[in-house]
């Protein structure tokens, strides 16, 4: 499948983590990588490594793209990006880095073909991927967690000794650009409004997620209406489901506080709900999904139990930061859409909600209406803070709301550049939130939005929240200004 690339130029569109991972494999199969990126710094870095580069302007010249046998795009590039759209018009194939990694694996460039366990969904992907990897480690199976979780798949394939199984977290962007992937097993955890601006609507977004259900075994979250509906459209040879409730035949579920498998055996107890981290319905659902994936490749129940017991929640995922005068501070910066924020808020009875950022076309109306009884107050910031504040005014008019902007505190913005100082905004948000809090309350960072309007990424946002919390004094609790 990759022979057509030997001796040919291949355009690498995007010099990020995935773009860098393409270079050595392309060279290993005899192709010549050429890098394009909108950033001058990125282009300079690629050139310093001795790589050929091409600007978008050069590539859009008549017939300029004809030199390339293939374009491999970073997942964030939209299909209507000028270079990608021009390549399609000229009949040049466009792959994502995941698609290319799939064919590199199938061609046995770096050893025997691996089994791919693919994890996707609007929320819970990273936790489920980590749980899956933890179970595989407990079973003694050489494996690696890769993909959207941070390690590019190509880097995982090039490891020596190499893994036998890949626990692959894939975003909707990656799946859109990877139509050939046929995993050993794949799961769609849930589907809620997210990245609608990129995909053009919920149907296209769900269709991208459904590409995880094309292999030997497909797994769907039955408690999620959209994911459950995908079971009827699954192209997997066998499709099973999981639910937080009593499982029917062919399902995994929960009975008397125990995770039960009735899909891959008559009935097998896999783990105790109390052993799952993170606690709560979302964590249990992720554990059931990880159990389904690993049971589909005959991992014994005892190793599912051991792996789930050993797994601990990662940073910025409903992580406890501090308790001060009976007020708990929780960092769930990874809650980058309303669906994720919903699970986070509903896990606590009395919440001072810290939220805001880029909603990416998602609506918060249903979220606010559902969680309003849990809200003591809300502090919102970021580009879509007015949208969240308006939803709160409509559906939770009795909940106090403070909307912050760059002018709300000294030092929050540079008056000469109008640049927002995100850490100062966060510090102000945390102080205001703490002022609403009393013993038994939870100050919860669950933004329901992406972070890039203010922060480098969600981890920066979470670190900023944690630093602001640590800077609080007892006198800040319950002291509205």
Binding residues for ATP: 121-127
Distance CA 235, CA 147 (A): 22
- Tokens at 204, concatenated: 């296209």
- Strands in 74-142 per DSSP E: 94-96, 115-120
A 10 A CB-CB count for 383 gives 16
Contact 125, 132 (CB under 8 A): no
Binding-site residues sit at 121-127
Give the orientation angle of helix 125-138 with respect to helix 281-295, to 10 degrees: 50
First to last CA, the chain: 66
Cα 329 to Cα 38, 237, 458, 468, 480: the distances in Å are 39, 45, 17, 11, 17
Q: Give the residue from 72, 36, 78 showing the smallest Cα distance to 173.
A: 78
Q: Give just the sign of the alpha carbon dihedral 257, 262, 268, 271.
A: negative
For 468, phi then psi, to 5°, come to -65, -40
Alpha carbons 274 and 280: distance in angstroms, whole number: 9
Element (H, E) at 219: strand 217-221
Q: Contact, 293 vs 187, CB < 8 A?
A: yes
Distance between CA atoms of 242 and 248, rounded to whole angstroms?
Answer: 9
Please answer whether residues 50 and 33 qualify as being in contact, where contact means their C-beta atoms are separated by less than 8 angstroms.
no
Three-class DSSP category at 103: helix
Query: CB neighbours of 203 closer than 8 A, spacing ≥ 6?
Result: none
Query: Residue 187: in which H helix or E strand, if any?
Result: strand 185-188
The Cα–Cα gap between 339 and 220 comes to 17
Rounded CA separation 177/95 (Å): 6
Q: Considering only CA atoms, which of 141, 140, 144 is closest in space to residue 130?
A: 144
């Amino acid at each position: 499948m990759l022979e057509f690339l030997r001796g040919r130029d291949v355009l690498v569109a995007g010099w990020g983590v995935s773009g860098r991972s393409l270079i050595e494999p392309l060279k290993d199969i005899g192709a010549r990588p050429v890098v394009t990126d909108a950033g001058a710094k990125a282009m300079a870095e690629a050139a310093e490594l001795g790589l050929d580069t091409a600007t978008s302007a050069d590539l859009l010249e008549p017939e300029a793209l004809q030199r390339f046998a293939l374009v491999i795009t970073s997942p964030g590039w939209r299909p209507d990006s000028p270079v990608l759209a021009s390549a399609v018009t000229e009949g040049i194939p466009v792959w994502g880095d995941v698609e290319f990694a799939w064919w590199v694996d199938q061609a046995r460039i770096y050893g025997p073909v691996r089994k791919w366990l693919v994890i996707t969904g609007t929320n819970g992907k990273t936790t489920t991927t980590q749980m899956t990897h933890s179970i595989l480690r407990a079973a003694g199976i050489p494996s690696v967690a890769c993909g959207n979780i941070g390690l590019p798949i190509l880097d995982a394939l090039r490891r020596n000794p190499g893994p036998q199984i890949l626990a692959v977290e894939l975003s909707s962007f990656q799946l859109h650009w990877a139509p050939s992937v046929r995993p050993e097993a794949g799961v769609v955890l849930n589907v809620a409004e997210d990245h609608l601006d990129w995909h053009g609507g919920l149907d296209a977004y769900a269709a991208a997620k459904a590409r995880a259900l094309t292999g030997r075994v497909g797994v769907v979250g039955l408690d999620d209406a959209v994911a459950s509906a995908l079971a009827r459209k699954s192209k997997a040879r066998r499709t099973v489901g999981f639910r937080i409730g009593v499982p029917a035949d062919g399902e995994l579920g929960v009975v008397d506080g125990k995770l039960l498998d009735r899909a891959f055996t008559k009935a097998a107890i896999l783990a105790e709900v109390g052993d799952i981290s993170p606690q709560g319905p979302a964590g249990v659902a992720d554990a059931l999904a990880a159990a389904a994936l690993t049971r589909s490749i005959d991992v014994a129940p005892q190793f599912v139990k051991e792996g789930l017991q050993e797994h601990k929640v990662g940073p910025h995922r409903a992580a406890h930061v501090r308790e001060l005068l009976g007020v708990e501070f929780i960092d769930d910066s990874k809650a980058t859409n309303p669906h994720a924020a919903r699970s986070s808020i509903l896990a606590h009875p009395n919440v001072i909600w810290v939220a805001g950022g880029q909603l990416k076309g998602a609506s918060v109306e249903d979220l606010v209406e559902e969680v309003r009884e849990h809200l003591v107050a809300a502090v919102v910031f970021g580009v879509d803070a007015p949208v969240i504040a308006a939803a709160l005014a409509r559906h939770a008019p009795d909940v106090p709301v403070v909307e912050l902007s760059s002018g709300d505190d000294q030092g929050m913005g540079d008056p000469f550049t109008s640049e927002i100082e995100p850490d100062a905004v966060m510090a102000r948000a945390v102080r205001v939130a703490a002022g609403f809090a009393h013993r038994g309350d939870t100050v919860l960072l669950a933004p329901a939005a992406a972070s890039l309007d203010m922060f480098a990424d969600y981890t920066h946002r979470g670190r900023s929240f944690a630093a602001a919390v640590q800077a609080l004094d007892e006198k800040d609790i319950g002291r509205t200004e």
